[in-house]
Amino acid sequence: MKEKPKYCESPDTFICDDYEVKEEPQLCEIDKSKTYKGLVGIYVDDSTITYIDGINGKLYYRGYSLEDLVHQSSFEEVAYLLIYGKLPTNSQLSNFKDELIKERNIPYDVLSILKSYPRNTTRIELLRTSISALSLYDPDDYIFTEEANIRKGIRIIAKIPTVLALSHRIQSNLPVIEPSEELSHSCNYYYMMTGKIPHDEFKKAFDKILICHADHSINSSTFSCRVTVSTLSDIYSGITSAIGTLRGPLHGGANERVIKYMLEEIKKKENIIPWVKEKLDKKEKIMGFGHRVYKTWDPRAKILREISRKLWSNIERVEKIPDLTHKKEHEEIDNIFEMTELLADYMIETKEIYPNVDLYSAGALHALGIPNAAFTPLFAASRSAGWVAHAIEQLSDNKLIRPRLRYVGELDKNYINIEER
Q: What amino acid positions are annotated as catalytic residues?
A: 291, 358
Q: Are 320 and 190 in contact (CB under 8 A)?
A: no
Helix (H, G, I), strand (E, B) or coil at 60: strand
Sign, CA dihedral 127-128-129-135, equals positive
Tell me which stretch binds ligand COA (CB under 6 A): 9-17, 46-54, 225-233, 282-290.
Answer: 282-290
Name the residue nearer to ligand COA (CB basis): 154 or 287. 287
Name the residue nearer to ligand COA (CB basis): 70 or 254. 254
Name the residue nearer to ligand COA (CB basis): 261 or 312. 261
Here's the x/- map for ligand COA, 243-262, by CB under 6 A: it reads as: -------xx--x--------
Q: Are 107 and 135 in contact (CB under 8 A)?
A: no
DSSP 415: P
Here's the x/- map for ligand COA, 299-338, by CB under 6 A: it reads as: ----------------------------------------
Helix (H, G, I), strand (E, B) or coil at 317: coil
Q: Are 186 and 206 in contact (CB under 8 A)?
A: yes
Binding of residue 275 to ligand COA (CB under 6 A): no
Q: Which of 292, 305, 383, 390 binds ligand COA (CB under 6 A)?
A: 292
Name the residue nearer to ligand COA (CB basis): 170 or 254. 254
Binding of residue 287 to ligand COA (CB under 6 A): yes
Tell me which stretch binds ligand COA (CB under 6 A): 74-82, 95-103, 279-287, 411-419.
Answer: 279-287
Binding of residue 291 to ligand COA (CB under 6 A): yes
Decide: residue 232, CB within 10 A, 0-12 exposed, 13-18 middle, 19+ buried.
Answer: exposed
Residue 355 C-beta: closest distance to ligand COA, Å = 9
Binding of residue 269 to ligand COA (CB under 6 A): no
Distance between CA atoms of residues 189 and 209, nearest Å: 13
Binding of residue 358 to ligand COA (CB under 6 A): yes
Strand partners, 53: 58
Name the residue nearer to ligand COA (CB basis): 286 or 395. 286
Report the run of H or E that residue 358 belongs to, with start and end.
helix 357-367
Report the run of H or E that residue 68 belongs to, with start and end.
helix 66-72
Residues within window 17-76 making contact with ligand COA, judged by CB under 6 A: 38
What are the φ and ψ backbone dihedral angles of 71, each rounded to 5 degrees? -85, -20
Distance between CA atoms of residues 323 and 318, nearest Å: 14
Tell me which stretch binds ligand COA (CB under 6 A): 87-95, 105-113, 115-123, 280-288.
Answer: 280-288
Name the residue nearer to ligand COA (CB basis): 104 or 292. 292
Which of 220, 227, 236, 226 is closest to 157 using CA atoms? 236
To the nearest 10°, report the CA torsion of 182, 183, 188, 193.
-80
Residue 294 C-beta: closest distance to ligand COA, Å = 9
Rg of the chain on CA atoms, in Å = 22
Residues within window 369-388 making contact with ligand COA, judged by CB under 6 A: none
Residues lying near ligand COA in the complex (CB under 6 A) are found at 38, 250-251, 254, 285-292, 353, 356-358
